Structure 1
Amino acid sequence: MAEEPKVPEVWIGSRRYATKKARQQAVQAVLGRYSLGQVVDQEDDDLLLRDLLDMHPDAADKVGPGVDHFRIIPTPRGHHKGPEAVLVDGAKVAFSYMKCLDAPTHRQRMLAAMRTEIQPQVNTYYESRKASHTLVSDESGQPLAPADVHVSYFRGPRFHDIAMELVQAAGGFDSIELTAETARGLALFTDRTLAERWHAHHQEHAVLGLLSAKENLRRPHV
């Protein structure tokens, strides 16, 4: 019996879609629920737009100090609705949701791989806090339920800035090769010596902390 062809999985954050069209329709459904100028006030819609913006090729610049909320605005030609991020410093940043849905650039694939490479460090930090009975927000001091815990870089340099230091030292994004990606889009460094350098660099410079999901919403995720 012939094997069924594998269909690549399509995602926005942790949301899985059967096709690229279904993913696009999910974004359009969010935009369609609001009038022009209206704030996106439904939590699920807000979370989807945050994950969507993280997929933008210029996400680090777009997100800046962090997103406070989203508004719906007319697209440049005025014929359709589009999202606008209102940042915590009051700046307003419009972005194309279609650009977010484009195939990831090598730069984006690299940054995603770098997160995958250091995920064990993040997991170890969480487990150490859990074992020491200190699952509390490092911002508010409030106790956190395990399902509400987010490990954040809010107390030190952004993940993006730590990653860029290693990338620049290695000769730039084009100098680093990745393994083939899984259907979920995960890849690793082919050069395991460089991977170890990255692990050590992240371990030295990352200042991790815990936040609640709600507190973490306002923080940049890139």
Structure 2
Amino acid sequence: MPAFWIGHRCYRTKGDAKKAVQEVLFRYTVGSIVDQEEDHLLLLDLLDLHHEAADKIGPGVQSFAIAPPQRGPYPGFEVIRTDQSRIDFSYLTCLKPPTHRQQVLNVMRDEVKPTINAYFEFRHSAGTLVSDQSHTPLETTNTAVSYFRGPAFVDIAEAFAQSAGGWETIELTPSTEPGLGRFSDRDLAQRWFTHHQEQAELGLLSTWENQRRPRR
């Protein structure tokens, strides 16, 4: 059985990924907030796999809570948004095979890595490795290039996909690992690269600041 990815975490099988999520679920009591950093980050990446992620995330994710059982004997997860509204989500739905849109988003991120790396190197060589949010000095091992000052990456990608005729029209080369495929149409890839350069407003945050900012 092929490996299964949740964000940057690689599990030997989908069953192992499911077990990791269930360990988080049963680590807390019903009604409590998921307050351990690694658990929170795992659920953020898990939620991104949901086919209705944008609707579940809404204005942004503030935290997660353990929801009482809705069907059957087991509790579930609940998103607490930045506007304090709440909505549940099924972790089993998140563990289904990725949609074509999710696969394209992975490839889009990979295609623009040169831009992200170049921005980091520019700030490093200019001696400005400072958080653009807290203005604290950053170490090279604790720095994240972030979209926090402008449109989110997903918003940039969504606008491009619509201009190209929709997600399903974007064909990818075969890939055995997430994010390592490419656009089959290299002219389209160049158009995406240019679109991203024109729309992305990049900045630097510490890894912690970037991970804890509201997810959109």
1:87 and 2:93 correspond: no
TM-score (norm 1): 0.91
Give the corresponding residue for 1:51.
Answer: 45
Deviation at 1:61, TM superposition (A): 2.6
| Worse-superposed segment, 212-221 or 37-46 | 212-221
Partner of 1:144: 138
Q: CA deviation at 1:184?
A: 4.0
Name the counterpart of 1:109. Answer: 103
Tell me the equivalent position of 1:41: 35
Paired AA for residue 210 in structure 1? L
**SS at 1:80's partner residue?**
coil
Percent of matched pairs sharing the same residue? 54
Q: Which runs of 5+ in 1 are unaligned?
A: 1-6
> If the length of structure 2 is used for normalisation, what is the TM-score?
0.93
Q: Which deviates the most, 180-189 or 32-41?
A: 180-189
Stretches of 4+ aligned residues off by more than 6 angstroms? none
The verdict on how the C-alpha distance between 1:59 and 1:105 changes in structure 2, with shifts beyond 3 A counting, is same
Match of 1:46, SS state, is helix
Instruction: Indicate the SS of the match to 2:112.
Output: helix
Counterpart Cα distance in 1 of 2:145 and 2:14? 30
Equivalent residues of 1:73, 1:83 under 8 A apart: yes
1:120-169: per-residue Cα shift (whole Å, max 9, x none)?
Answer: 11111111111112111111111122222121111111111111121111
Q: Give the count of matched residue pairs.
A: 216
**Counterpart of 1:187?**
181
- Give me the whole-angstrom Cα distance separating, in 1, the residues matched to 2:180 and 2:39: 25
SS of residue paired to 1:102 = coil
Unaligned 5+ residue runs, structure 2?
none
Verify: 1:172 aligned to 2:149, yes or no. Answer: no
Partners of 1:130 and 1:89 in 2: CA distance: 36
CA contact (8 A) 1:63 1:220 kept: no
Q: What's the Cα RMSD here?
A: 1.6
- Contact persistence 2:172–2:182 (CA under 8 A): yes
Partner of 1:121: 115
Check 1:16–1:79 CA distance in 2 against 1; reply closer, same or farther (3 A cut): same
Equivalent of 1:14 in 8, 21, 34: 8
Corresponding residue of 2:152: 158
Q: CA deviation at 1:170?
A: 1.1
**Structure 1 SS opposite 2:118:** helix
- Cα distance in 2 for partners of 1:185, 1:203 equals 19
Change in Cα spacing, 1:60 to 1:148, as seen in structure 2 (3 Å) is farther
Name the CA distance, whole Å, in 2 between partners of 1:53 and 1:181: 22
